Structure 1
């Protein structure tokens, strides 16, 4: 496979196993990749063809090359509240943590975003996403803090401007002091789109509209956010069908289940993706398939909060786009996406039997599936000529993996594999196992300092 482009600088990677995750699932036991500028120029078996302008040639023996991982759901700010509410289900967990989250400010969010992104990128994520919906008055530019952190680390980023306007006094779950007015939320969302959204091919930053959930957002905000997003040409994101309590809440308040409620407010479509979608019946899955609505599957968070097992095999069989999500690190303290490949496979087999999900399906969820969900499947998610050069070299010749002959199985079923090299847009963001743009120890100190400051302000210690 070769695409004809003519940048002057090329990176050649040879002598590695390659899992392209293209439509045919093409793999090479020993293959090559040629990166020209920010694009993949060639992928194939054996040595690379002779090309000019090679600035770096990598002998990647003992490695597996895959597309970069795509994270489709996260809450960066929660990096500062890991390890709390350890034995609570979703609603109790939220009630316990909302008062602390309502005290975040811009320096805290920057530190939390940088910490979250650093761990993900070091673990093979090349496209990150965040759902930020807590905006205390006077807290500063919280979305801008996340965007700054992503740009500094070098990751491709989908930032969503979240919102909550249904407080306790209106029958919602969050306390009144943690919500915005409907008008303020819509104005801020439009401003974020106008200021930051870049729809171009190869964009490093996109914005989506993301009211938080049915139990924290008014029907008016849901409807108007959908109208706004479509007027602006951006995607829509929210939480959906996460718990049985949410199902009960929707029936009591709206007289219908979450999927029917979302459809009534304009929230099903191929420009929409929802996090979790654990409690979906056959009709719900059919509605998502019919409309092209995507799902961010978060297996570790679902298990941590005992939300249940999402019916991912049934979704995939129906043609629903499904990607993987870390979710916030207050409900998935590892903060890593590459471990979700393994957890997705294992948890879905618990729910659906030994054939529910294969190692290659798990890898597809974390790469091409995520690209589909974020609306970027034409650009990223597979190793194909003409696509953006977002790729990862996983080291599989160490003690943890060397005895597994199948490299994809080694990556998915084995221990977390070290990342030797990660390219975003053809630029190394991880090299020889280390972040190229960030001092990890300094960042660890910053996140610890800001977590302690938040804890002190919230009166946790």
Structure 2
């Protein structure tokens, strides 16, 4: 039996009542939270004590959308909108393999962990012929860093010759995708409450997959008991594509193929009207909000305040590192506040709203809110401890604002299932310098192939 007590920090539980403890304690036993409050449980004299004075204690952050392999193409096509950016990068991405992806994914997840992220949602949809076990490489990278992973077996089967955006050499056949999806779930998905790896099915987008693949993937995922993920309503160009090709907008198109529901989440959702928002809320369809990427690609500002008010699940996402070179998740909290206020007004998106999106919101989007997303007895001990007594944050009137409006605070400690993954800003289970070297080598190798 392993016991740990975090003591003396400002605890933000993100529970249903928004409980906070100014001088709080979090007690952990065998990877789960036992008690949260103003004092440690009685009889815990044998526990390891972590002095969290001068710190903010929050649930671990949850990243609901990423493309980890894109770590290898950061800084490319810097001034392009989404469609032009994709066309520029598809030829290079089609030359990845499992070894390169593993190196890039480890680097991306190291940065995520050092920015307070305990659960990484990844959307991988490029599988070159002969590229090896790419999903396996991502799983290995997550284990190396020490974070949880919600991997997806993504896909594209609508090449340019059929009216899609990706080049024909970058797509797979529908039958091959469905068979590979079954194999990925069988090999890597763990349905248990404390799972380190779960898998979803994730056809890429309405402009890169066929209606047949969307329909068949939805049926297959529900038969296998896993979730569904795709991009939706990201840009005006996507809206125009759907209206020209299908005679309707992205939300109506996806709804007709079985793609609205509590087991579905979509990335971006920038261009939703009131009717779309009502459908997301009524069906419990989740949204992965990626504010920095939306700005980088000039996609627009998503109606997050309206989605939240309607009751739709909303989580936070970094998106691919080729459209958000920072790769940090904590900084997206501040971006969510700023973008939300620009879109909807200063009183429609508070810092605590954005922190909830980054924690409990993400857990809800990924179907893990029973065990993750808040600091409550019985939940898994995925916890971030932020130091806020340094010069950047000392004296700030509200400790939560140090994280949600200030610079990203230094990460004193990151726990995943009660185990330290980051301590004093450095990875515990692996060497960040070695990961950085491998990532840089992999990026150079991929560039040479292109």
User: Matched residues in 1 for 2:341 and 2:425: separation?
Assistant: 32
Unmatched runs of 5 consecutive residues or more in structure 2? none
1:55 CA displacement: 4.3
* 1:221 maps to 2:213: yes
- TM-score if structure 1 supplies the norm length? 0.97
Name 1:361's counterpart in structure 2.
353
1:319 CA displacement: 0.2
Residue of 71, 91, 104 corresponding to 1:112? 104
Residue of 12, 18, 21 corresponding to 2:5? 12
User: Matched residues in 1 for 2:310 and 2:85: separation?
Assistant: 33
For residues 241-390 of structure 1, what are the structure 2 equivalents within 5 Å? 241-390=233-382
* 1:181 maps to 2:181: no
Are the aligned partners of 1:367 and 1:381 in contact in 2 as well (CA < 8 Å)? yes
Are the aligned partners of 1:9 and 1:53 in contact in 2 as well (CA < 8 Å)? no
For residues 75-224 of structure 1, what are the structure 2 equivalents within 5 Å? 75-224=67-216
Are the aligned partners of 2:228 and 2:265 in contact in 1 as well (CA < 8 Å)? yes
Name 1:39's counterpart in structure 2.
32
* 1:439 maps to 2:420: no
1:48 CA displacement: 1.4
Are the aligned partners of 1:12 and 1:54 in contact in 2 as well (CA < 8 Å)? no
Are the aligned partners of 2:410 and 2:424 in contact in 1 as well (CA < 8 Å)? no
Residue of 386, 400, 403 corresponding to 2:392? 400
User: Matched residues in 2 for 1:54 and 1:106: separation?
Assistant: 45
Deviations 1:122-176 (A, max 9, x none): 1100011100000000011111000011012111110000000000000000000
* 1:414 maps to 2:406: yes
Large movers: runs of 4+ above 2 Å: 49-55
1:53 CA displacement: 6.6
RMSD (CA atoms):
0.8
* 1:52 maps to 2:44: yes
1:432 CA displacement: 2.3
Residue of 10, 31, 53 corresponding to 1:61? 53
Are the aligned partners of 1:165 and 1:179 in contact in 2 as well (CA < 8 Å)? yes
Name 1:21's counterpart in structure 2.
14
SS of corresponding position for 2:37: strand
User: Matched residues in 1 for 2:375 and 2:277: separation?
Assistant: 29
For residues 445-460 of structure 1, what are the structure 2 equivalents within 5 Å? 445-458=437-450
- TM-score if structure 2 supplies the norm length? 0.99
1:201 CA displacement: 1.1
User: Matched residues in 1 for 2:151 and 2:47: separation?
Assistant: 33
